[in-house]
Structure 1
Amino acid sequence: MQNRTVMLGLGYAGLLPFYGFLAGAWLLADWPGAVSVQGFVMYSLGILCFLGGTIWGRVQSVEEPLMARLLISNGVVLFAVTAVLTAKVWLAAVA
């Protein structure tokens, strides 16, 4: 198998949980719908972390590393993780 074929297969396979959780959040009510929303958020966070990791790989492959890209990739992931971990507490405090 060629690398491109594997990459496309994995990319499309990665859309299945994304759309599955999205459909569950849209179609299910009460507890199953809430679990689907949490699954969607966590899967999206995992994808964001994966994309941040790909930036590391790309920066390491160049001769002169771009420090700003490394810091921004980490900053975005840390912000997203913090937002996911504190969103419910913040919403509960406001409501």
Structure 2
Amino acid sequence: MGGRGVPYRYGSHTDVNGRTQQATIDQLHTILTTLLPQTAGCRIDHAWCGVLGVPRDWCTTVGLDPRTRIGWAGGYVGLGVSSSNLSG
């Protein structure tokens, strides 16, 4: 659902304003109410935007440090919230 309305700026420069454009919020609200009609009366209280970090190979990675037994996962390529549950 997300991942729209924030252009890539050459050299990975970020927008100093940091606000999501209202047109983007409206578009996402339309998609939300189309997919889930019961949300039509709901209001969107918060919206955010930020820099998207993408691994060079565009692949999600899961790892485990055998010495510390600390596991990690990353590289969701913009699908972190919806796909992070697949990594445990």
When normalised by structure 1's length, the TM-score is 0.24
Higher helix share: 1
When normalised by structure 2's length, the TM-score is 0.26
Higher strand share: 2
Larger RCO: 1 or 2 (CA < 8 Å, sep 6+): 2
